[in-house]
Amino acid sequence: MTTAALMILGTASHVGKSIVTAGLGRIFADEGIRVAPFKAQNMSLNSAATLDGGEIGRAQALQAEACRVPPSVDMNPVLIKPRSDTSSQVVLLGKVWGQVSAADYHTNRVEQLFPAVLQSYQRLASKYDLILLEGAGSPAEINLREHDIVNLRMAHASNAACILVGDIDRGGVFASLFGTMELLEPADRALFKGFVINKFRGDPSLLQPGIEMIEQRLGLPCVGVIPYLHDLGLEEEDSVAIESRRTARRSWSHIVEDNSPHRPLRIGVIALPHMSNFTDFDALAAEPSVALAFVERADDAALADVLVLPGTKQTLDDLEWLGKNGFLPRIQEHCSKRAPIVGLCGGFQMLGLKLSDPCGAENEGVPVERDGLGLLSVQTVFSTEKTVRPVSGELCDASFAEGLWRAPEFQGYEIHMGETYRQGEAQPFARISTSDGAQSLDGATSPSGLVFGSYVHGIFDNDLFRHSFLDWARCSLKLEPAQQKAFVTTERDARLNRWADHLRSSLRLDLIRSWISTTSTA
């Protein structure tokens, strides 16, 4: 393979590999280089739909956006979506490939899938001048190294120049950099050209002695120190980011006594154990008029103005979890107060009357049927086929919002298994269209309009649609309209440019370019 390749690896998960890769993609795209991202294997419940109906990690979709190219299944050929601590769904080239245990996957399946991974890389390499590869976790996971297809095996296959990223905000960055390199075999260590220290806060002069010492110990140059950038506003890759999520106690403790009509709208997203695509709520959280929290305890649900049931990888298991943890009466109480309730994807399915899984798609092949929350007159039947597609939509009837939903159009994507059927008093929420012009009805609303559900992820990413939703929600709770609004979609490209500019001033790009030119001629 002769296409230029640069690989970003990290000392651990969540050190900034994904966002550094995205920033470099924007930098090189701005220089007129045809550049694309690639991650051989990703483990995440945050995913995105490609134009051809495939499913990839959301981080690779963001990186493609940064590179100004359309997302493709070849950018993330293997996506692992955990179902439990020991089993996962494997998505290969955008489609469900099978369910495997962790042990079976790491000892057998990776070798079976690696040829497809190489073919994906080769297809990308034939179309682009530069491939930015991203690793996963740490390349020094010695217990997994033999069958690791995402880190150094891929670096060797692509002849990539490798950069190691460490996160100083977590502490122990020098030990992490040194320990990672020490655990590598000599042939692997030789792939690394330099290292980056990410998320630095403080006086750079205090860091310099440590940099000089670790450069000598590793025999590698420091490619740069990236200062911590506040309010970046670009989504995190996976559920590791939930470690620092906004809980009700953190977000609402100082405002629960505020009865002002201008107070923040408390939006509570129920923190389901298998919650997926939690990035659906990043734009809502960015609104100055919103205090968004992930509700982990049933009692905290009573403090929410708007309750949201998010998407989930295991709808039936999480529905059972709601019952066992006391959420059902709290949700019913919320409904009786005539306060808004929203269900997205799996959360929409839960709001219905009944959920049937005749093929055991969510239950290891064993058929199961459960009663839903009964707040929408719909029934869901699961299947083994997954619907994955980008869509655009428009509310079918916004009359329930009394003219407050002034921007009824939206864009997003569907990723779900099963179909939901309306009956009785349920009305469809939206009319959606796909890229080929096909139209269908989505979701459902209650007669009051205060309970609604949709299969569309990313529905709140649309600025005007989100603002209209918040205007309606605030009015329904007798709160004044928001005085300030965020324009997340409009600002998204500017945020990527801001991040790229931040990296330009922090990294030794001439050094990186010299390594890239070397790999392209090797």
Strands 378-395 and 354-357 turn out to be parallel
**E-assigned strand segments in 58-110:** 78-82, 87-92, 95-101
Q: Position 228: which residue type?
A: Y
For residue 405, the Cα-to-chain-centroid distance in whole angstroms is: 27
Residue 239: its pLDDT value, please?
43
Residue 520: its pLDDT value, please?
55
Q: Residue 439 is encoded by which pair of tokens?
A: 């139209």
Please tell me whether residue 209 adopts helix, strand or coil conformation.
helix
Per-residue pLDDT of the chain (522 residues; tens, 9 = 90+): 468 999 999 999 889 999 999 999 999 999 999 999 999 988 887 788 888 888 898 899 999 999 999 999 999 999 888 776 667 888 888 888 777 776 777 666 778 888 999 999 999 999 999 999 999 889 988 887 778 888 999 999 999 999 999 999 888 999 999 999 999 999 999 999 999 999 999 888 889 999 999 999 999 999 999 999 887 777 655 544 454 566 666 667 666 666 788 889 999 999 999 998 888 898 999 999 999 999 999 999 989 999 999 999 889 999 999 999 999 999 999 988 888 999 999 999 999 999 998 887 777 778 888 999 999 999 999 888 888 889 999 998 877 766 678 777 899 998 888 899 998 888 999 999 988 888 999 999 998 889 999 999 999 999 999 999 999 999 988 999 888 999 988 788 899 999 999 999 999 999 999 998 765 544
Are 486 and 283 in contact, with CB atoms under 8 Å apart?
A: yes
The 10 Å CB-count burial string (b at 16+, else e) for 226-241 is: bbebeeebbbbbbbee
CA distance 401 to 340: 11
Q: Which residues have a catalytic role annotated?
A: 345, 457
Strands 95-101 and 87-92 turn out to be antiparallel
Estimate the crossing angle of helix 488-504 against helix 58-66, to 10 degrees: 70
By residue count, the chain amounts to: 522
Return the CATH number of the domain spanning residue range 245-484: 3.40.50.880
| Burial group, residue 501, by CB count within 10 angstroms (0-12, 13-18, 19+) | middle
Query: Per-residue DSSP letters for 347-402?
Result: HHHHTSSEEEETT-TTTTT--EEEE---SSSEEEEEEEEEEEEEEEEEES--GGGT
The helix or strand, by DSSP H or E, that contains position 92, with its residue range, turns out to be: strand 87-92
Residue 240: its pLDDT value, please?
42
CATH 3.40.50.300 segments of the chain? 4-234
Q: Residue 133 is encoded by which pair of tokens?
A: 């590869």
Residue 144: its pLDDT value, please?
77
Contacts of 96 (CB under 8 A, 6+ apart): 89, 90, 384, 386
Question: For the whole model, what pTM was predicted?
Answer: 0.82
Strands 368-371 and 290-295 turn out to be unpaired
Query: Per-residue DSSP letters for 189-203?
Result: HTTEEEEEEEEE-S-
Among 428, 425, 422, 421, which residue's Cα sits nearest to residue 452? 428
Among 514, 507, 502, which residue's Cα sits nearest to residue 193? 514
Contacts of 198 (CB under 8 A, 6+ apart): 15, 16, 20, 165, 166, 167, 168, 169, 226
Residue 82: its pLDDT value, please?
79
Placement of tokens 């002695």 in the chain? 209
Upper half-sphere CA count for residue 240 (Cβ side, 13 Å): 15
CATH 3.40.50.880 segments of the chain? 245-484
**Maximal C-alpha separation, the chain:** 73
Contacts of 521 (CB under 8 A, 6+ apart): 2
**E-assigned strand segments in 151-309:** 161-167, 192-200, 222-227, 265-270, 290-295, 306-309
Domain 4-234 - what CATH class?
alpha beta
Q: Position 458: which residue type?
A: G
Upper half-sphere CA count for residue 465 (Cβ side, 13 Å): 17
Are 459 and 344 in contact, with CB atoms under 8 Å apart?
A: yes
Q: Residue 412 is encoded by which pair of tokens?
A: 């997003």
Query: Per-residue DSSP letters for 153-164?
Result: HHHHHHT-EEEE
Residue 64: its pLDDT value, please?
95
The dihedral through the CA atoms of 458, 347, 355, 373 has a sign that is: negative
Residue 448: its pLDDT value, please?
86
Estimate the crossing angle of helix 173-182 against helix 204-218, to 10 degrees: 10
